[in-house]
Amino acid sequence: MTEKDQGRNTSITKAEIDAFFEEMIIKDEKNINFHAIENLLKENGISKDDHRISSLKESLSESIDEELDRSRFEQLLQEKEVILKCFRKELVIPNFPEFSKDVEDIFRSTKSNTNGDIDESLPQHDDAENPPYAISVCTVDGQLLQLGDHDLAFSVQSISKVVNYAIAREELGRKKLHEHVGVEPGGEGFDAGMVLNEKDLPHNPLINSGAMMTASLIKQDLEMEQRLQYVIDVWEKMTGDKKVEYRKEAFETERKNADKNFALAHLMKDRGAFAENVDLGTVVDFYLKCCAIEVNIDDLAHAGATLANYGKCPSTGKKVFHHNTVRDTLSLMLSSGTYDHSGEFAFRVGLPAKSGISGGILVVVPGVFGIAAYSPPLDEHGNSVRGLEFCEKLVDRFNFHNFDSKSTSIHGKKDPRQTHHMKKLVHHGNYRQIEYYY
C-alpha cells in the first residue's frame, strides 16, 4: 500500500452507511451494540490498544455498554478510517483470520526446533532447555498477530544497525553518509584481509565496523545520553509511541567483551575512515548502548511495519523516515542483513531482514507488513534457528519472496493481498488490468 492509498479520501455514501448499519444490527433491534464494533476490529486484527481507536469511546461520548444509532454510526465511520476499511474489506490483508490461521500453523510446525546455541555473552532467560519463542506480525494498516512469548523483552543487538543507518541516512543524505561506509556485502575476517574495502571503508552499515561508523555520525554535537535518547525516541516513533527502554546490564556485559570492536575502530581511524575529531571510546560505547535498547516482539514487528509502510507508522500516522531512506535501508537488509548467511537468505527467502545475537530477527514485506521472530538459540552464523525456519516456511506458503509472481498463481502459493488488490482494480475501473491478471 502506498502513502497515497493510506491518505485517500474516505468519503462514504448513504447507501454504504445503510448497508453497513444493517449488517451490524442484531435481529429485531434498531441500533448497533458497541461490542459489535469491537468484535469487527478484533476479527480484522486491530488491537483495542491501537492509537486510532483507543479514544473511540471519548470521541463518541458513549458508554461502552450503550448502543449506536445510525447518526452515531455515521459519525464513527467518518472519523475512524480504520473502521471504514474493516467494513469495506480494504485492509491490506482483508481476510485476517485465514491469514492468521496459516501463520499459526507455521509457528506450531517450527516450535519443536530447539537446535542451536544461546549466546552466553548476554543475560539469559531461566529455562534454557525450553527457550522462548514468539512471532508477531504488524501490517501497514496496523493489523496485529501475536504468537507465543510475545510479552518477553530482549535487547535488539544488531537489529539496532538498521535503525541507526536509517537515522544517519535521513540526516546526512546518501552521498555524505557513504563517504564513510560502503554498501557491498562483506565480512570482517581478519585472516582473510577483508576487514575494510578497497577504499579503506567498512563494507556496509550492517556489520560491526560499518555500524560503529554509522553510529559515530549520529548527532555528534550531543552528549552520550542525549544521543542515546534521540535514538530511543526514533524507536518509539517506529513502534507507535510505545515506551522503549535501555538495558544497562546488556551494555555492561558486552562492554567487557568489546576488544574486537575496539580493534576495528582503531583500524578504521588509522585508515582515515572516521570523520574528524572522533573519540573511539565514545564511538564503541554509543554503538553498544544502541544494541542494548530493549523491545518485545510486538514492538519490533511494529517498527518493521513502519519500514514496510515506507517510513510512516501504521498506528499513529507519524512520518518517521522518507521513502528514499527506507528504500536504501531495505536494500541493505536484503543484501547484508543476516551476517554470513545473507546470500543464502536472499536466495531462499528473498526479503529484507536483520537478525541479532539475542535471537531476534526482523523481516519486512514492503507495502504489506513487518514480521518479527524471537528465539535465542542461534546457528553458526548468529541467526535464530527457529526464526530462519519460520521465514523459509512463510515464503513457501505465501508469494512474499521478492521474485515470486504477484500477478498470477503460477507458483501455487497463497496471496493474502489478492482480494484487496482485486477490489482496488474494480474500484478504479481497471477492467482491462483485471482481465490481464486474472
Task: Please report, in range form, the residues annotated as the binding site for substrate.
Answer: 158, 208, 254, 261, 287, 339
Secondary structure (DSSP) of 222-248:
S-HHHHHHHHHHHHHHHTTS---EE-H
- What's the rounded Cα separation, in Å, for the pair 310 and 432? 29
Work out the angle at residue 121's Cα, subtended by the Cα atoms of residues 331 and 190, and round it to the nearest 5 degrees: 60
* Matching residue, cell 448502543: 67
Cβ–Cβ under 8 Å, residues 412 and 404: no
- What's the rounded Cα separation, in Å, for the pair 359 and 159? 10
- What's the rounded Cα separation, in Å, for the pair 5 and 171? 27
Instruction: Locate the DSSP E strands across 69-174.
Output: 134-139, 144-148, 153-155
102-138 burial code (b ≥16 CB/10 A, e <16):
ebeebbeebeeeeebebbeebeeeeeeeebbbbbbbb
State the CB neighbour count (10 A cutoff) for residue 263: 13
Secondary structure (DSSP) of 52-82:
HHHTHHHHHT--TTSEE-HHHHHHHHHH-HH
The closest of 409, 392, 380, 290 to 345, measured between CA atoms, is 392
Binding annotation: 158, 208, 254, 261, 287, 339
Cβ–Cβ under 8 Å, residues 156 and 293: yes
Q: Residue 311: left if φ>0, alpha if ψ -120 to 50, beta else—which one?
A: left
The closest of 358, 372, 242, 230 to 304, measured between CA atoms, is 372
